[in-house]
Structure 1
């Protein structure tokens, strides 16, 4: 009995082993439902949002039996659209131009297979679904860790474009007329310190030379002229602020500054505010080079932003870690306390609110336009909103049409998109050391 027992067990094990060998053999065909890697599904489906369009791509299949690709698109309402792509040679990309901005779509890809001529056409299992929300705006980002300038799609789900070997870029500005972006860097190769313009397609099409330590750069939205602060005093040279035409031709250069660390252009007049930290002074310069105001008193101003509606300016006083507001006539109208280390700020054209990036506090603060003088964000709550889900936020930019706010967080390598009401829309994590950004509101 003992022998028969072992014999039966041996036979059972032998049968199971043979069955396993037959079932678990390697399945190299990616469309084989028993392929342990793919499950028979097409791989690599990606969707990149654009303005009223979605670019789709996937892993190409060099299999003769494939007759076409099938894309299934579902909108928020559950409506499904099917597109069969059978044109030869088969392409692994498709542009869907029948989408609507702001609508979220879900795409799935399958493959139609006909193993022999005249045979039955079968459909593979569908791919893993991908979601995308097309929209007009694009965010430009300077990633110092990757030495890249890159663009993020409107729905903040994907990196759309990467421009490599851009060293030391810490400031960005976009021309809203054509989507071109400017940056400054000390490391322009043989040209030394330069300002560089990228076309809306990400191609370097202009380089401006002659700087010592170029820093802040802003664009006049009326004509595309650019203002650039050169902190030459950092290396023992002369500091200056210059205005160039849209193609980088010098219009004028003003010297006598110490540390012009922040610039902001009034979009209605073209006048530029200059925060000169080294001289403890704010200057307002007309678009013809005329000095309109020299204001002493806001401590050590480092960053400044203009309210597009009123022309008032908000600034940061790094000496006291306060935020102040100054009228176009030079009168300081309010001061707000309670920040740890405010570094950047931006004003919204929709409601006049000011968004402040507090890197030291790991927070972003939205101050209402009606915030009173002497307000303290740590002791009062009636006139501000605190967003604390950050590590080391370092820059902010606002889409002045939608009111949406974009933040880069150096602490976790993320980009965050926030609705005008303060709710977080989405966070993209995966950058190395993002240090600056600017938003192109795009075509409407």
Structure 2
């Protein structure tokens, strides 16, 4: 009889040891490993918002937040938060200094293993990006790592720009050919500007008007901010990029099939044509230096005195396809994408305003968009297909952050907070 009882106890013990551990704080729990998931972060200026999931820890007495700052070797307890609160604001953080966070859970006098760490670098900017095929615009933290706000309701958002005087954003929705005005909270306040086949736009903050191009319908139009079309010119030949000098109200249009840059006045009268631009891929305007940068298949051109004689001052070769250009308006340096098909075959380059190579960074996979952060001069690169947003150091080109968004990033802009 004793033998049977002993055998029963062995079988029962084996069954108990094989049973799945349901307590999330049990180190042998196959799912949690005895620790909570890492906290979710984002930053606003000098404050970091920390939140975590509470669903698995109904008996928790406190959530314990640990922090390690740059140049510190160990984590220290920052705060103990009691339920029902499941978030915490860490305030007074130093700009441009990395911070790492972990959390643990306390219950009945027991503290769990610390979670995996998460990293953030707070600062006075946000990165905004259009996610073309997910139909949304996303606001990211200063370092581009974490989403702060997702704005849905777009069909196919593409280009984005900021009106710094009103702290509003303009976003093109390709599907319906509309330009939509959006607040910092993601509220669409105006969607009255409509141009069939809208390709590009430029906002003139001096006169509160928007210039837009339609590549397929050969049109350039001027709208007031209420959406009234004040002027339309239909004599172009596939106009693509448009830029504005906000002091003089002069407009620059890259007229694709004619291979020219056209300069117009506010009334749409053509003042000058600069020919020789067949096969271009990008154009940006540096108003501070009155310089146009134009990207071709295999070289980059600078056009100086854009308001005057429009003189070609530089022609830089050695590219495969200059697909995108972004200007650091303070320094005059430019960042550009040299697009090559294939995984890891493209490059990002940083050039001085005089055309000298400052950085040559290989290993990118079909990068589509650039945005310069004018606070720290770093550059964000978006790989359109992979959905990665990568932050590059302004001096070394080191990849500072990586955000695998899973989306299809088409365009980006950095908002600097006042």
Q: Which residue of 2 aligns with 1:117?
A: none
SS in 1 for 2:61: strand
User: Does structure 1 conserve the Cα–Cα contact (< 8 Å) formed by 2:223 and 2:230?
Assistant: yes
Q: Distance in 1 between matches of 2:54 and 2:207?
A: 45
TM-aligned CA distance change 1:429 to 1:69, over 3 Å: closer
Q: Give the counterpart of 1:181 among 169, 172, 176.
A: 169
Q: What is the CA-CA distance between 1:26 and the residue it aligns to?
A: 3.3
Alignment pair present for 1:158 and 2:178: no
**How much is the aligned-residue C-alpha RMSD, in angstroms?**
3.0
Q: Provide the rounded CA distance (Å) in 2 between the counterparts of 1:241 and 1:399.
A: 30
> Structure 1 residue 257: deviation in Å?
1.7
Aligned to 1:392: 366
SS at match of 1:278: helix
Describe the superposition over 1:201-233 as per-residue Cα deviations: whole angstroms up to 9, x where unpaired. Answer: 2222210243111111233455764332122xx
How far 1:64 sits from its partner (Å)? 6.0
Question: Which position in structure 1 is the counterpart of 2:155?
Answer: 167
Match of 2:274 in 1: 295
Structure 2's unaligned 5+ residue stretches are none
Structure 1 segment 142-221 matched on structure 2, within 5 A: 142-188=130-176, 193-220=177-204
- Relative distance call for 1:333 and 1:31 in structure 2 (3 A) is same
Task: Provide the TM-score with structure 1 as the length reference.
Answer: 0.81
Q: 1:339 to 1:37 in 2, by over 3 A?
A: same
TM-score if structure 2 supplies the norm length? 0.85
Structure-2 residue corresponding to 1:438: 413
Match of 1:260 in 2: 239
Distance 1:400 1:253 in 2: 34
Q: 2: CA distance between counterparts of 1:85 and 1:336?
A: 58
Deviation at 1:401, TM superposition (A): 3.3
1:405-424 correspondence to structure 2 within 5 Å? 405-421=379-395, 422-424=397-399
Q: Is the 8 A contact 1:264 1:272 kept in 2?
A: yes
From 345, 348, 359, the counterpart of 1:364: 348
Whether contact under 8 Å (2:135, 2:154) holds in the other structure is yes
Aligned in 2, Cα 1:412/1:65: closer, same or farther, shift over 3 Å?
A: closer
What is aligned with 2:48? 54
1:30-429 aligned within 5 A = 30-61=24-55, 65-78=59-72, 80-86=76-82, 90-114=84-108, 121-188=109-176, 193-220=177-204, 225-231=209-215, 234=216, 237-245=217-225, 247-250=226-229, 252-266=231-245, 269-286=248-265, 289=268, 291-318=270-297, 321-328=298-305, 329=308, 330-360=310-340, 362-371=346-355, 383=357, 385-421=359-395, 422-429=397-404
Distance 1:92 1:249, change over 3 A: farther
Structure 1: tracts of 5 or more residues without a match = 1-7, 115-120, 372-381
Counterpart Cα distance in 1 of 2:350 and 2:261:
23
Tell me if the contact between 1:52 and 1:100 (Cα under 8 Å) persists in the aligned partners. yes
Q: Structure 1 pair 417/353, CA: closer, same or farther in 2 (3 Å)?
A: same
Once the two structures are TM-superposed, the CA of residue 18 in structure 1 deviates from its matched residue by 4.5
C-alpha distance in 2 between matches for 1:71 and 1:21: 37
Q: State the partner residue of 1:23.
A: 17
Distance 1:13 1:287 in 2: 95
> Are the equivalent residues in 1 in contact too, given 2:251–2:265 (CA < 8 A)?
yes
CA contact (8 A) 2:208 2:224 kept: no
Query: Mean Cα displacement is larger for which, 37-46 or 343-352?
Result: 37-46
Q: State the structure with more CA Rg.
A: 1
Separation in 2, partners of 1:223, 1:125: 59
Q: Alpha-carbon deviations, 1:244-269, whole Å to 9, x = none?
A: 33x54545444422222112334655
